Amino acid sequence: MNKVIVGGGQGFWGDSNDAAIHMVKKSNINYMACDYLAELTLSIMERQKLKNPERGYAGDFIGLLDQCGKEAFDRKIRIISNAGGMNIEGAVNAIRQVAERQGMHGYKIGYVQGDDMKSQIPELLRQGVDFKNIDDVGDFKDIQGDILNANVYFGHEPIVECLEGGADVTVTGRAADSALFLAPCVHELGWRADDWENLSRGIMAGHLLECGGQGAGGNYQYDWRGVPDMDQLGFPIAEIGNDDFIVTKAPGCGGVICEQSVKEQFLYEVHDPANYITPDVNVDISHATLTQAGENRVRVGNVHGKPRPDTLKLSIGYHAGYKVVTYLSFAWPDAYEKAQYAAEILRKKMERKGMKYEDVNVSYVGLNALHLGVADMSGDLIKNQNEVVLRIAIRTKEKSEAAKIIPEISPLQLNGPPGASFFGGRSHVQEVIGLWPTLIPRDAVKLTSRIVEVK
């Protein structure tokens, strides 16, 4: 193969399946990669697994395979996903059940294990790894007893092993998002593990695809009104060869692939454009070029690569207390003034109960809850507001402290300023999970790739 065509089927856990199914049915992709893991996702999955050992992976992926896995298998479209989360074997079992039910004989399921480093932390500490927070905050000793999960962001290599073994579907845990897309390029085009120039292009193709709809006109500031058929938004597809690469989308779906839409995703969640560090390569896009190469086709050029780092990012999730979020809406006239007064009442109640909290956030939805201090809060607009939603969020160390505020909210409908309406149902105390990003030596990580075949 001198060109590999890869589609981005999911942008996050909870994304729509429509674009992925359309892509499998209507496009000429060779591979589809589906990203399910945001920074926090693994901690949530670990919590699920603790409650029920059968869970802890993205069940949505099993549903997606149920809907289009058979067709992908028949059309020889291979699927790669990090949906395995904290329970890769559980995900593999669930996939096997789908494949058996649908009569997909000979279907090969590849999987990668070894990103879960939690049990290895004590040994790594003994070896001198300091787990220093890369954002320079806090002391590791303070969170060490509260760790929920510790997963390393790994690169393309173990996924390529699965592909070499003939895997029709490959599931991983915390593979770096873009590695899911790079792996088919390496497998099909035969790139070497130190071919930084080519690897950097595969990574950037993945970067443009890994957020699903955001790569094709979703969350698009340049001209959101001009995006065709957003109700059936397609997701991006990359055509990657041994030169520049093309971003496009499947025929017959909505969305837009143009210079501006690709640009917005290009620097998204990148920090220094000359040093975009991934487990596979250090990418330099500081001189990259984007050119329209046809309708819904954008050519990406001048992407360069430098050697990958010797360390890998380890993301540690830890229990960090509790929070409660409450909402009360107030009506015209003087809606904002009433909401402010209600907030004052709640603050006084918190004080009287001696409620201990770490942080409190008061905002007014519709006025300043998104733009905070940058919001325009002056003039007649605020005075004549039809309605204002008071939002109070409180974070505490102890669950019992957070619980103290809940019985105080709904009584404000009868005991506070007029026109109040309780919003969104009774609040509940939620657990707060903190994230501790750190670096560990690459050679401390041992990953294994395996394949099971459906008879």
Count of residues in the chain: 455
Residue 293, interface with other proteins (CB under 8 A)?
no
Contact between 82 and 174 under an 8 Å Cβ cutoff? The reply is yes
Backbone angles phi, psi at 334, to 5 degrees: 60, 35
Residue 397, interface with other proteins (CB under 8 A)?
no
Residue 19, interface with other proteins (CB under 8 A)?
no
Return d(Cα 283, Cα 278) in angstroms, integer: 8
- Give CA 162 to chain center in angstroms: 23
Return d(Cα 106, Cα 238) in angstroms, integer: 28
Map the footprint of other proteins across residues 215-244, applying CB under 8 A.
219, 221-222
**Which of the stretches 15-23, 50-58, 281-289, 402-410 binds other proteins when contact is defined by CB under 8 A?**
281-289
Residue 403, interface with other proteins (CB under 8 A)?
no
User: For other proteins, which residue of 87, 151, 363, 427 counts as binding (CB under 8 A)?
Assistant: 363
User: For other proteins, which residue of 149, 151, 172, 214 counts as binding (CB under 8 A)?
Assistant: 214
Residue 105, interface with other proteins (CB under 8 A)?
no
Residue 267, interface with other proteins (CB under 8 A)?
yes
Three-state DSSP class for 289? strand
Return d(Cα 375, Cα 364) in angstroms, integer: 11
Give the total of residues touching other proteins (CB under 8 A). Answer: 54
Residue 395, interface with other proteins (CB under 8 A)?
yes
User: For other proteins, which residue of 371, 383, 426, 428 counts as binding (CB under 8 A)?
Assistant: 371
Element housing 430 (H / E) = strand 430-441
User: For other proteins, which residue of 394, 402, 451, 454 counts as binding (CB under 8 A)?
Assistant: 394
| Token pair 């094709």 in the structure block, residue | 216
Map the footprint of other proteins across residues 146-205, applying CB under 8 A.
none
Element housing 294 (H / E) = strand 289-294
User: For other proteins, which residue of 193, 230, 277, 365 counts as binding (CB under 8 A)?
Assistant: 365
Return d(Cα 437, Cα 434) in angstroms, integer: 10
CB of 410 to other proteins, least distance (A): 20
C-beta closer to other proteins: residue 64 or 320: 320
Helices (H), 37-87: 41-51, 59-74
**Which of the stretches 3-11, 61-69, 159-167, 268-276 binds other proteins when contact is defined by CB under 8 A?**
268-276
Q: How many angstroms separate the most distant Cα atoms in the chain?
A: 72
Three-state DSSP class for 416? coil
Residue 323, interface with other proteins (CB under 8 A)?
yes
Residue 372, interface with other proteins (CB under 8 A)?
yes
CB of 426 to other proteins, least distance (A): 19
Residue 92, interface with other proteins (CB under 8 A)?
no
> CA 218, 4, 151: angle at the middle one, nearest 5?
65
Contact between 79 and 170 under an 8 Å Cβ cutoff? The reply is yes
> CA 39, 42, 48: angle at the middle one, nearest 5?
140
C-beta closer to other proteins: residue 175 or 290: 290
User: For other proteins, which residue of 103, 128, 145, 373 counts as binding (CB under 8 A)?
Assistant: 373
Residues β-bridged to residue 365:
389
- What is the per-residue binding string for other proteins in 420-439, x denoting contact by CB under 8 A? ------------xxxx-x--
User: For other proteins, which residue of 229, 243, 272, 344 counts as binding (CB under 8 A)?
Assistant: 272
Return d(Cα 419, Cα 445) in angstroms, integer: 59
C-beta closer to other proteins: residue 123 or 272: 272
Residue 378, interface with other proteins (CB under 8 A)?
no
CB of 370 to other proteins, least distance (A): 4
Residue 289, interface with other proteins (CB under 8 A)?
yes
Tokens representing residue 139 in the block: 């002391």
Return d(Cα 67, Cα 275) in angstroms, integer: 39
Map the footprint of other proteins across residues 23-62, applying CB under 8 A.
38-40, 43
Element housing 449 (H / E) = strand 448-453
| Token pair 């957003």 in the structure block, residue | 230
CB of 193 to other proteins, least distance (A): 26
Return d(Cα 337, Cα 343) in angstroms, integer: 10
Residue 78, interface with other proteins (CB under 8 A)?
no
Return d(Cα 314, Cα 114) in angstroms, integer: 12
C-beta closer to other proteins: residue 327 or 341: 327
Residue 359, interface with other proteins (CB under 8 A)?
yes
Residue 263, interface with other proteins (CB under 8 A)?
yes
Contact between 185 and 206 under an 8 Å Cβ cutoff? The reply is no
CB of 139 to other proteins, least distance (A): 16
Where does this chain bind other proteins (CB under 8 A)? 38-40, 43, 135, 137, 214, 219, 221-222, 260, 263-274, 285-290, 302, 320, 323, 325, 359-361, 363, 365, 369-374, 376, 391, 393-395, 432-435, 437
